[in-house]
Structure formats: structure tokens, C-alpha cells
Amino acid sequence: MWTKDSKSYPRDRLAFSALQLADPPRVARHLSRAVLLAVGVLPLALLLVPWTQTVHGVGRAIAFNPVQRPQFIVSPIEGRIKKWYVVEGQRIKAGERIVEMVDNDPNLELRLLDEERAILDRLRAAEGRVNDIEARIRNLKSSRQLAIDVQRSILGQEQARVQAAEQELIEARAALDAAEPNYRRQRELFESRQGSLVSQRDVELARQAFETAQAKLRQAEARVKIAKAGEKAALDNLEKVDADTAAMINLETAALRAAEAEVASVRRDKAQIEVRIARQRAQYVDAPVDGVVFRLLANAEQGGILVRPGERLAILVPDIKAENPSPEPGGSALTDNNHPGIVTELHIDGNDLPLVRPGDKARLQFEGWPAVQFVGWPSVAVGSFGGLVYLVDPTADDKGRFRILIEPDPNDQPWPDQNYLRQGVRAQGWVLLDRVTLGWEIWRQLNGFPPIRETKESKAFQPLGPVKRK
């Protein structure tokens, strides 16, 4: 019988039996072959898996309305801080008192009031001059009209005298025309060859009548000249009165304009002194809007460091109130004329700018909210929030990055409450583009090619307004 200790047992047969004893089970061999095959086939299969291309950006949450962003409370006067009525982190309402100021010069307001009284006296004097000049202008216009009426009456009288003189001239010419033939006829009858048919007395009477008619004609012509001269003098006087009174009125009108300019200047001084007095009395600074006191920058009280007008005293963070807080189901704030309350401000690279359009979907991850983000498969991401591209800036910042604003997607999970998602919370987002295969995306990344974006023909120009999405 053969045993291991037998010298007749072959050594090669003993080694072969040990190798058989160390051989792995058949199941393990099949499993290893399957794993090896899966490792070889899985990369090839993954190349065909759908992948969503994205544009990545980082930024923070801000209020869309600039009025609702953090704002500075400034000093309205030059002085010192007398008392704070708020502390950091306190929520205040619009109109509530924040700080009380005190001026450096306690008598400044009294001097400003004295200056205001002096300006009011100047204003009353200037307005009195305006009233006096207006009264003189009214009197001048009344006396001008009266003087013109008198001169027109005199002109009418002179024109009547001219008409009467001309009528007398006509009568004198008619009398001369009748006396001259009668005198010639009487003389011819007196000098007739057949003997005197009339007496010399008749001839003399006829000659006397003729000479009298000539004298009356010359007298009538002289009266006409005198009457026309009087008419011309009356017309000249009328024009002179008209011109003189108009010049006086124009002179007073110019004085009125100068007085009105002085009144306007004094009123401007009055407005300026009223503004200075109002600012001097505005020693209480109140909250312009509802919000939370973020920082108190001026820490001096009871006669400490001086502050100048416009110097920052505190920072107030207003409450964000969405102008479209509850959009209709299935709708979007982009399709309304209202604006969102809080948005996410992301900065993207300039190479990706042509790929981003208003209305594109995006996924956001906020600081403080745990999330598992799968860039290529947004449908399986956990803890991220949906958004829509609301605005793309037309120009870049000093680092060459472009800013985009992401608003909440009304068809997706709502963003965190504003009590938790506050302004300044850091965020990162991914604007979703087209779907490609994973193999294509790997090939694109290795070659440095840009993502694919479907191009459409440009539509006709539309006026600026809310972006419409299908």
C-alpha cells in the first residue's frame, strides 16, 4: 500500500496533488470572468448613456429690486451722534427712529432763522416794488388811452375844419366863375360900337363883384392850407403821444421784469434757507423701509467723532417682498409684467455666454442646504432647486465674466423660505443645455469643444419686455 512516507511514491505525483488542492472553486472562476467582462463592456455602454450639457456658474442670492438690497443710512447734517435707538440685528418698521443727531453749533438754527426773516423782508419789499410798478403800468395805460382819445378828438376837429375850408374854397371858385363872365359881358356891352347899352355904374359893380370873388378865392385857399396844417399837426401830436406813452410803458415793463427777477432770486434764497433749516431740524434719522439693522458703522456717542453730511451711519437690509409672490400654476414670472422677489446672481465664463438665453432651465445649490448634484443627470440630483434664467447682462465685469439672474421655477420645488435663504448666501448653479451621449461629452471635454446649442432663425425685432417661453 502506498503512503506518503513510502520511498517508492513519485515526487511529481505528490506536487500535482497539492496544485489540485489549491485550485479555486468553479463558481469563483465564473464570477471573476463575469466581472472582467462587465469591466470591459461597462465603459462602452456608458458611452451611450444620455448626458445633459450644462454651463456652470457661481454667485449669491440677492434681491431683484435694487431698493430691497442692503442700503446705507447716512447722516443728514454735520454733527455728532447723540443716541442710537436700535441695535444690530433688530427688525424695524418703516418710519421707526434709528438715530438722533446733534449739531456742532447749538446756535446755528437761530442764525438760520434770522437769515430767513431777513430774506422774508427782502421778499416782501421786492413784491411791493412789483405791485407798485404794476399799478404804474395800469395808470400809464389808462392815461395813454385818454391822451390818445383827446388827440384823436383834436384831429377830428382839424379834419372838420379842413372839410369846411375846402367847401368854402369850392364856393369861392363858383362865385369867381360867375363874377368873371358877368364882368366881361358888362364891359363888352359898355364898349359896344352901337353905343353904351349899359351904364358905367353897372360895369363898375360887375368889376367890383369880380375882384371880391377873386379875394374870397385867395382867402379860401389860405384857409384850406391853414386847416391842413392844423390837421397835420394834430396827427403828429397823436403819433407823438402814442410813441411817448408806449415808451413810458415799455420802460416800466422793463422795470417790472427786473423786479420780478429780484423776487425770483429772493424766493430761491428763501427755498435754500428753508432747505438748510429743514436739514438742520432733521436731527432724527428714521428707517425708510421695513428691514433688519445689519451694522452700526458710526460708533461714537455723547460728543465723540464728528460725522459729515452723507457719511454712512448704519446698514439696513430691507425685507424682500416679491412683486409676484404667487404665480398661477403652470405659469412663470417671466410671462407676467411683475418681477421676482429674490433671485440668484451667477457669474459665467464669457465662452459660455452665447449658450445662455433668458428662459433656460437651471439647477441651483445653496450654501447650507446639503445636496448631491449630478451634473449630467439633473433628474436624479438631490437637494438642488430649480430655476429659470431671467436676465443676461449685456456686458462683462472687470474679470471678463458675465452676470446672469436666476429666478425660481414655479413648476419646480419652491426655494427655501426667505428667513433662511437670505441675501448674500453663496450659490452655484448649472444652466441646462441640450442632451447628448456621455461619449460625446467626454470627447468634447478632451478636445475642448464648446457645448452644442440648437440655433434658430432670428425672429423679427420685438420691443423690450418680459420674455415669453413656450
Distance of CA 331 to the CA centre of its chain: 32
Q: What is the mean pLDDT of residues 111-135?
A: 88
Angle at CA 425, nearest 5°, toward 52 and 392? Answer: 50
User: Going by CATH, does the domain composed of 109-281 fall within 1.10.287?
Assistant: yes
Q: What residue has cell string 368873371?
A: 180
Buried residues in 378-413 as b, exposed as e (16+ CB within 10 A): beebeebbbbbbbbeeeeeeeeebbbbbbbbbbeee
* Confidence at residue 368, expressed as pLDDT on a 0 to 100 scale: 74
Label residue 431 by pLDDT band (50, 70, 90): confident
**70-96+287-318 shares the fold of 54-65+321-433:** no
As a whole-number percent, the residues of the chain with pLDDT over 90 amount to 2
**Beta-carbon count within 10 A of 213 CB:** 21
Of 40-54, 108-122, 127-141, the range with the highest mean pLDDT is 127-141
Q: Which three cell numbers stand for residue 202?
A: 353897372
What's the confidence (pLDDT) of residue 304?
54
Distance CA 96, CA 347 (A): 37
Is the pLDDT at 463 greater than 50? The verdict is: no
Tens digits of per-residue pLDDT, 230-250? 888 888 888 888 888 888 889
Cell output for 25: 472553486
The CA-CA-CA angle for residues 107, 110, 111, to 5°, reads 90
> Does 152 score more than 80 pLDDT?
yes
pLDDT band at 163 (very low <50, low <70, confident <90, very high): confident
The two most distant CA atoms of the chain are separated, in Å, by 229
Averaged pLDDT of the chain: 75
* pLDDT of 326 over the 60 cut: no
Provide, for the chain, the percentages of residues in helix, strand and coil under a 3-state DSSP scheme, each rounded to the nearest 5: 45, 20, 35
Q: Tell me the three-class secondary structure of 294-339, residue by residue.
A: EEECCCCCCCCCCECCCCEEEEEEECCCCCCCCCCCCCCHHHCCCC
Q: What is the pLDDT of residue 332?
A: 43
- Domain 54-65+321-433 CATH assignment equals 2.40.30.170: yes
pLDDT band, residue 346 (cuts 50/70/90): very high
- Range with lowest mean pLDDT among 152-161, 395-404, 416-425, 456-465: 456-465
State the cell numbers at 287. 428707517
Query: Is residue 406 within 8 Å of residue 362, measured between CB atoms?
Result: yes
Span 349-365, mean pLDDT? 83
Task: Compute the chain's Rg from CA coordinates.
Answer: 56
CA atoms of 450 and 355, how far apart (whole Å): 9
pLDDT at 67: 80
- Mean pLDDT, residues 386-405 taken together: 87
Is 70-96+287-318 CATH 2.60.40.10?
no
Q: Which of the residue ranges 37-41, 52-56, 121-125, 422-426 has the most confident prediction, judged by mean pLDDT?
A: 121-125
Delimit the domains of the chain by residue range: 54-65+321-433, 70-96+287-318, 109-281
